Structure 1
Amino acid sequence: MYEQESLELCAYMYTDDHSDMIGTWDYTSCSDRQNISICQHYAEKTVTPEVDSVKCPHKSNGQNWIPFRKNCYTLLLGASRWGNSEINEQQICKSLAGFGEILTIRDEAENEFIKKQLQPFKNLVMFVWLGMSKNKTDEQLKWLDGSNVQFSNWKYGQRPNVTEPFMVGLNINGEWEIITNPRYFKTIKQRSIVMCKIENDPKDEFMKGVVDVNTPDGISYRRVAKRMDWYQAMQECGRNGGHLASIPDKTTNDNMALIAKRDGFSLWIGLSKQDVSGWPFEWSDGSALKFTPDGFVKDGRDTEEKCLFVDSSGNWTAVNCHASQEGAICYNHINEKTSAQLSSQSSSSCPKDDGHFSWILFKDHCYAFNMHNYSVFTMDNAKNVCQNLDSSSKLLTIKSKEENDFVSDYMNKNPSITSRVWLALHVDAKGKPTSWHDGSELDFSRWNAEIGPQLSPQVSQICAVMVSSNGTWTHTSCSNSRSRIVCKAPAYPGSPVALVFFVILLICIFAAIPFIIYHKNKHRFHSTVRYQRNFDDADSASMINEEE
């Protein structure tokens, strides 16, 4: 498409009276000769502007500036429109047109205006050049004047995978195309118009960062510019101990809409419904659903799980959670203790963590929490997951208030997707709990059927969940509900660390016994008597005779 020979092309009009093409335009090499040329002279006269119209810098024999709203535009068509070694891209307009900067497009109306200016040249050129660069710090596209690209109209409606170097052009349909192969750059330049713009509207909003909004104390927002589904967005936010954004009030919703507008795409937020049997929407960070925008229906039955994204107008849209969006809004509590730090409580008396589940010791049992999997499961899948973790691992059973409080408290401190947690509890056809899956008696219960959904008579199998936000238990559909998992296993009676410590202690004891015995009996090995020779007169003989 882009590999044709690079030529300087000029337009001409058919004027042959005997041709049925009279009055039509075509183009040819600028070096070809034509029989007639038509010149146009602009009369130097004062044109009375319309009320509120912008004054553009028209000059005799100069560039023709076109007004639109408060701004002025002109097209550079000559061979010199790309400047030279002495004129860089930012200086092209001031050097060649005398005013303005390389084109920026701020909204849909302006994009449509630029598209119309391209139509007379559609047989000559392919694009209006859109000068952009990419900020490596925040992955944000920027216009050459340094402002952020907020509005966009990419050809396939998706965030482009921008690699350096690249070129962007607006085609005759008003769509933006990106070219990343440098081999085509020369041809694209040859087939592109350079447009200059005198922008009289303020740029302040376009100079701000994507997440530069008013935030509550202790909160920081982050935009993830990446095509992904809702569960992948959960994982991206969780990499730094964060969450998908929750929206407690209209002010926050306005801020989320502003982030989506600056980004140029609708973005995932943390609201979802993982149950199609009547459970309401839930925030993935465990916060209560206090606010919804006008027009959003938060209840009702669906045939599939639903997750939400927010657009630039602050509207919420529910789609399949496995659908892809162009990014997400995350937030972090500054200086928050993350789940990774909490999981450091793991004990050697428990099975080894597998990277997705963290085992925590509580009394004589170990509990596996899926803190890093960012998934929810049906009942059958939940049981299989626990069995695959460890041979002794089973789905959660609860035998006391202390155990119930431990699980609900831990889940509340580490929220993810939903507050529901599967219980390995048999429930009869009337919705009443009977016994645990392992056959043990139901000695303790926090059952509250009123907080659960009104199940349809067509529900063939009823299961039980704990609602971790308050620690109560209730019923739900075994197949139409997706909940979190906690697996449970008996703690090991001993651990390798304890065994090593015990062996070292025994060695120390046996090494100390001879030392103690030695100290108690050392008088047998060493006498305290000292001998001294005394001399008297009778003992005066010498072994050596002295000379007289």
Structure 2
Amino acid sequence: MEPRRRKARSPSVLCCVFVLWTQLQLGLSGDCPADGRTWIPLGHKCYHFVHGEEDQIKSYTFERAKSLCQHYDLLSIESPEENDFVVNYSPKVWKGAVNVWLAMYYDTDSDDMRWHGQIPVHFTNWESSSFPTDLMPLDTCVTLHSKTGKWENVSCLEEVENGVVCETHQFESCFEEEVSAKSSPLMSALVILSVVAIVGVSAVVWFLHQRHNQGSTIFTPFEYHPPFRVLETDRSCLVESEETDSVP
């Protein structure tokens, strides 16, 4: 019996490895900004806790807090896990309790609170059972108490708070700000072209390998199993003759 030939490995595995490598090289792995500040990754976001001198907690107005984040956003809380993360990490940055500014405002069009960028608020953690309305809508801002994690509405113009946390999405942080919104189609095209090129090169290498391999053809990776074995013509006649002679 002829030894069974070992199947050649499909180049698809190699393609997958190269595609993953290409994505990492294109910056799709989700890194935090490398601007000299300390960023802490969590989920799809990165966070920077702003603090003053080592033994001194400074206070900032809402507008000053936004300017400290430069071209990044103030903190927004979209889940209980994110809220707990801020509470648990705050003691590593600040001594004692602080009130952290949140990137929330009162939208007069919808008569509801929204995150900056007109993002709806789904998760809340107010101190009272419902959102208080003792402030004018245009003067309504929100802070988070680092000890309890509860939220409180405060005046955007008159209050100063001592906690500032900046945030950004990990994917957006890998690109320049001015091209981040336009880079997605270009990056998608580059990934597709890279995949096509890798598949083409892998196919050529596989073809040449099979062609120069002794005793094999380019069809060696494929095995054909017919549904039944067809006897040769001479042997068929011989079997038929023997069956005829054996009949009494």
Bigger share in strand: 1
Larger RCO of the pair (alpha carbons < 8 Å, separation 6+): 2
With normalisation by structure 1, the TM-score equals: 0.25
Higher CA-based Rg = 1
With normalisation by structure 2, the TM-score equals: 0.50
